[in-house]
Amino acid sequence: MTETDPIPLSALQHWAYCPRQCGLIHLEQAFADNIHTARGQAVHRLVDTPGYEMQAGVKVERALPLWCDRLGLIGKADLVEFHPDGRIFPVEFKHGRRRQKHHDDVQLAAQALCLEEMLGRPVTHGAIYHASSRRRREVAITSELRRLVQETTDAIRVMLTSGRLPPPVNDARCRECSLNEICEPAALAAKDIQAELRAELFRTTDPS
Amino acid sequence: MYSLQNTLYVMTPNAYAHLENNTVRIDVEREKRLQVPLHHVGSLVCFGNVMVSPALMHRLADEGKSLVLLETSGRFKARLEGPISGNILLRQAQHRSAGDRGFALELARAIIAGKLKNSRALLVRAARETPDSTEQAALTRTADNLAASLRAAAVATDLDALRGVEGEAARGYFGSLNSVVKPQARAHFALNGRTRRPPLDRFNALLSFLYSMLMNDCRSALETVGLDPQLGFLHAVRPGRAALALDLQEEFRSILADRLALTLINRSQLGPGDFDQREGGVVMLNDRGRRTVITAWQERKQEEITHPLLGMKLPIGVVPFVQARLMARTVRGEMTGYLPYLPK
């Protein structure tokens, strides 16, 4: 990937969750499914068909292609509502129950920034839709979130340009991560076990 | 977590593998023989003249599941490659490190250490189990020689020296394997050293077939993690040779192939009727023998082991994938040296 290649919006969410996960997917081209990604795909089947419809005066675009030249971003919004009063409102679909997850918010804010550049109008709010609880959580696109989008994009670009994979985090995040087997966070962190095994490699220990 | 998805081996000539809804269906002469959900299938391996529908090929490619075509003998023929084929950064690193003599030597050394220790463990166990004291002494002597080879491997100053140590050790090891065969099976399964191109006795025919299966799995494992299977560290690069798959295979030969061969012989699961001898002396497994071996191979791969570095239980068939990943981590500088798999 060269510096001018746009960064996929999904990378921002991956990075916000775990920089190494982002590196594994976008540098190492790794992908693995687990129960969480399978649920995510099931949720997205609802919104992956491009098109639009009108609901009570609100025009709803599904799977809308997005980009932002200023930040060098490209991607897709699950759903964007265009209200009669001019409000533009992106909605990101997530499986699971309603929860506060800042990596979801970064992704949503990045979508808002794309929409602003594409349409030349401000996007002040969006929402995360949680499929299990069927609840929306409204998110204000604050200046803090906007800054976070910029910082995250910069950090990802540095990683992609350097070609270096961030180190494993080896914490609670790893348990839910579909890339756990590819990442091997525990094995890589276990330097003492590695050293022990290395020391044993040329020794024969059993009585012979 | 780590689960070993099934490899579906299709061996019946003229079988037709196709997609039906979300299942793989195998027909022979227009009759349904097998139908399995696609999500249970990790890869599809076809021996000889097996037909595969384009729809099934597309789905396998989409889902990153491999489709491998083998000759009836188990020799590699072709593989379907999906949109994600390898990892260019990893391959660059691999090419750089293969050109780095110091790095290549240390990786090759670790591979040989794994092979020697695992071969030796088989002989030590056999020596413990044999009732014949002469044979026990002979097996112990070979095991001691392998320990000496291991010490020599630790200080070998270049790849040629290391290969020399390995060749010498292999001769001694194969020379001893006959004593691991139960006396009553020896009439049919004499092994006088390793003959492979072509195999000239039943034991060698069996080993060759198992090594082909192992090699296919190692190659798949390397391709899954994005390494270039053709560029090896211990095995020199030669056109058409999957040198890195041969490297990765070394540590598994005795654990997965040799032990299984001995079990099949010693438990009389294979007999002379499972082999055909061709004019001139070449011996090959016949169709019935291949089926027995493949079934045992699949069962063996499901057996659970504890990986010393990961510290968790996994089916042994997953271990080549784990080891390929450790190799990739070593090449990418995330680990300071490769660690072969040594069962506890």
Nearest neighbour of B325 by CB, restricted to A27, A182, A186: A182
Regions of chain B with pLDDT less than 50: 1
pLDDT band at A98 (very low <50, low <70, confident <90, very high): low
Whether chain A has a CB inside 8 Å of the CB on B61: the answer is: no
Minimal Cβ distance to A208: which of B147, B309, B322 = B147
Between these two residues, A127 and B191, which has the higher pLDDT value?
A127
A180 touching B, CB under 8 A? yes
CB environment B297-335: b (16+ within 10 A), e (fewer): bbebbeeebebbbbeeebebbbbbbbbbbbbbbbbbeeb
Burial class (CB in 10 A: 0-12, 13-18, 19+), B157: exposed
pLDDT at B126: 92
Q: What is the pLDDT of residue B172?
A: 92
Q: In chain A, what residues touch B226 (CB-CB under 8 Å)?
A: 28-30
pLDDT for residue A2: 46
Contacts 24+ apart (CB under 8 A), A96-105: A96/A39, A96/A130, A96/A131, A96/A132, A97/A130, A97/A132, A97/A133, A98/A130, A98/A133, A98/A135, A98/A137, A99/A130, A100/A137, A101/A128, A102/A16, A103/A13, A103/A16, A103/A17, A104/A13, A104/A128, A105/A139, A105/A145
Lowest mean pLDDT segment, chosen from A6-20, A21-35, B177-191: A21-35
Interface check for A163 against chain B (CB to CB < 8 A): the answer is yes
Rounded-to-integer distance, Cα A148 and Cα A157, Å: 14
Q: How large a percentage of chain A has pLDDT more than 90? A: 39
Q: Which B positions 101-130 lie with beta carbon below 8 A of chain A?
A: 110, 113-114, 117, 120, 124
Cβ pair A181:B2 closer than 8 A: yes
Task: Report the gap between the CA of B266 and the closest CA in chain A (Å).
Answer: 25
CB contact under 8 A, A202 and B143: no
Interface of B with A in 154-213 (CB under 8 A): 154
- Distant-in-sequence, close-in-space partners of B21: CB < 8 Å, separation ≥ 6: none
- Give the integer Cα–Cα distance in Å for B272 and B185: 10
**What's the confidence (pLDDT) of residue B63?**
81
* Least reliable range by pLDDT among A116-120, A138-142, A171-175: A171-175
What pLDDT was estimated at residue A52?
A: 67
Q: Could you tell me the maximum CA-CA distance found in chain A, to the nearest angstrom?
A: 85
Q: Which residues contact B211 (CB under 8 A, 6 or more apart)?
A: B249, B253, B257
**Which pLDDT score, from 0 to 100, does residue A51 have?**
67
With an 8 Å Cβ cutoff, are B140 and A29 in contact?
no
Q: What are phi and psi of B86, to 5 degrees?
A: 85, 180
Distance from CA of A201 to the nearest CA of B (A): 7
pLDDT band (50, 70, 90) for residue A39: low
Give CA–CA dist A64/A80, Å, rounded.
7
- Residue B43, pLDDT score: 82
Those residues whose C-beta lies under 8 Å from the C-beta of residue A199, and which sit 6 or more positions away, are none
Tokens of A120: 């030349």
Task: Label residue A27 by pLDDT band (50, 70, 90).
Answer: confident
What pLDDT shows up at residue B47?
Answer: 83
CB of A42 less than 8 A from some CB of B: no
Q: Does A188 sit within 8 Å of B308, measured CB to CB?
A: no
Region A34-56 average pLDDT: 63
For chain B, give the number of residues. Answer: 344
B228 vs A96, more confident: B228
pLDDT given at position B93: 92
A and B: number of Cβ contacts within 8 A? 74
Interface predicted TM-score (ipTM): 0.71
CB A91 within 8 A of CB A66: no
> What pLDDT is attached to residue B193?
67
Q: Is A54 within 8 Å of A60 (Cβ atoms)?
A: yes
Written in H, E and C, the secondary structure of B281-327 is CCEEECHHHHHHHHHHHHHHHHCEEEECCCCEEEEHHHHHHHHHHHH
Closest residue by Cα to residue B16 from B55, B59, B65? B55
What pLDDT sits at residue A107? 92
* Mean predicted confidence (pLDDT) in A101-130: 91
pLDDT at A40 over 80: no
Q: List the single residue in B with minimal CA-CA distance to A38.
A: B39
Q: Where are the alpha helices (DSSP H) in chain A?
A: 9-17, 19-26, 35-44, 102-119, 143-162, 172-176, 180-183, 185-189, 191-200
pLDDT tens for residues A182-195?
888 888 878 888 88
pLDDT for B147 equals 94
